[in-house]
Structure 1
Amino acid sequence: MTRAQVKRRLALAWWRQLGVAVAPVLVFNLLFGDGEPSVLAMPLFVAGMAAMFLSLPLFHAYKRALIATGKALDTVEESAAWLELDRVRLRALLGAAAPAWIAALAVFAGLEAVPLVLLTFSSIVIHLLYRIPRQLA
């Protein structure tokens, strides 16, 4: 597989993971978003905000894998480095989706629209950190 094909596959995987992160919030809010606020709404919002910090160690691992891939370009280890980058990035993207998934659960607790949007946008912004940079072209 060429480097351009690998980057294209990783870009498509990024969009797929973004959809997996955001879709539950949208679907649950459309289907079940008319609930009354409960006592669990605020703790779930706080848990969603705290889940953003889950991605810090995952981002450090991603950054190390990204640097290793950059060093392995045009060497024998390049394909293994791309595979490792993909593995580390998938785990990091799952961690980046945590605030949006907690927001999806918070829909059932009656969390208001503004906190739902904040948690969902925080997942989107964290997902933006995991795009493959142009320098690896």
Structure 2
Amino acid sequence: MTRGEVYQRLELAWWRQLGLALAPLVVALVFFKASEPGVMALLLFVAGAASLFISLKTYATYKAALEMTRNSLDTPEEPAAWLRLAAIRRTAFLAASLPAWFAAIGVLFSLHAMLVFLLGLASLGLLCLYRIPRLVPVQQQA
């Protein structure tokens, strides 16, 4: 598999995870109506906001793996580095999706719309951090 194909698969995985992160939120917003908010809604917002801190560790691990991948380009270790980067990225995607998933659950408990929006936006921002930067060359040199 060429470097361009690997890059394309990683980009497709990013879009797939974006859908998986935000789909439960959209479904919850469409099918559930707000009622009287309770304490549980506030607790879910706090849990969603606290889940942002989980991404600190996963982002540091992702950046290290990205740097290792950059350093291993055009070497025999390149395929293993791409596989390691993809595995670390999958774990980071789960951590980045947590705020939106807490917001989806919060909708069931009548979490305020602005707080739902903020948690969804936080997940979107975190997922944007895990896009493969253009600094990684896509074309393999002959």
TM-score (norm 1): 0.98
Are 1:119 and 2:119 counterparts?
yes
Deviation at 1:33, TM superposition (A): 3.1
Counterpart of 1:136 in 2: which secondary structure?
A: coil
For residues 54 and 107 of structure 2, the distance between their equivalents in structure 1, rounded to whole angstroms, comes to 21
Separation in structure 1 between the aligned mates of residue 51 and residue 65 of structure 2, nearest angstrom: 22
Contact 1:22–1:120 at 8 Å: present in 2 too? yes
Moved over 3 A (4+): none
Structure 1: where are the runs of 5+ without partners? none
**Conserved? CA contact 1:18–1:124, under 8 Å:** yes
Does residue 95 of the first structure (1) align with residue 126 of the second (2)? no
Counterpart in the other structure of 1:43: 43
Per-residue CA distance 1:31-62 (angstroms, 9 max, x = gap): 01333312211111111111111100000110
Distance 1:135 1:88 in 2: 19
Number of aligned residue pairs: 137
Contact 1:35–1:108 (Cα < 8 Å) also in 2: no
Structure 2, unmatched stretches of 5+, are 138-142
3-state SS of 2:35 partner = coil
Q: Is the 8 A contact 1:32 1:107 kept in 2?
A: yes
Give the fraction of aligned pairs with identical amino acids, expressed as a percent. Answer: 50
Give, in whole Å, the separation in 2 of the partners of 1:105 and 1:33. Answer: 13
SS in 2 for 1:27: helix
**Residue 81 of structure 1 aligns with which residue?**
81
After superposition, give the CA deviation of every residue in 1:53-87 in whole Å (9 maximum; x if it has no partner). 11000001101100000000000000000000000
Q: How do 1:4-83 residues align onto structure 2 when only pairs under 5 Å count?
A: 4-83=4-83
